[in-house]
Amino acid sequence: MVFRRLLGRIHAGFEWWEELDIAEKYLLYMAAGMYGGTIYGTYQRRARLMIPESDYLLASFYRVDEQQKKAFEANWSDQARLAQRQPGYEWTRTYKALDWQESPFQYITFRMWDQSTNYLRMVQFDPTWKELSKRVGATCTEQKDTVFRILIDDSVKRIID
């Protein structure tokens, strides 16, 4: 009985579909695509939000006189220790030039934050950070900060995860 009623409904649906003109059918195809795309897009967005990715890479370039090298490294270390205790901080990598005189900069630092707001909150509202930044600025001749976004990541860590 239930099976026969189900077959009757399916047959009625096919008859209804055959009575539609081409414009009405295209409208239904478009509506089905819209709903399908909405469901798929929502699924993809939720999957991406479940695995948050860091998106704020700050690169700092420093030119330092050789006489100020030790003072700069001490002040920079204090600044790095403060950053490590902030919410949203992930990691820091600092590189020192091997050829001191020929390099366009002597130190380059990459610091990863999970969001720009965490970094900007520290820079704008933390008085200790401001004081340490003055000390670092006093020991280097030039400092330049640049923000990068990741376009392609082929690191081994991502493959393992």
Q: What is the pLDDT of residues 22-41, one digit of tens each?
A: 999 999 999 999 999 999 99
Q: Residue 65: what residue type?
A: D
Rounded to the nearest 10 degrees, the angle between the axes of helix 127-139 and helix 69-84 is 160
Does residue 152 register a pLDDT over 80?
no
Q: What is the pLDDT of residues 43-60, one digit of tens each?
A: 888 887 777 677 789 999
Q: What is the pLDDT of residues 71-90, one digit of tens each?
A: 999 999 999 999 999 999 99
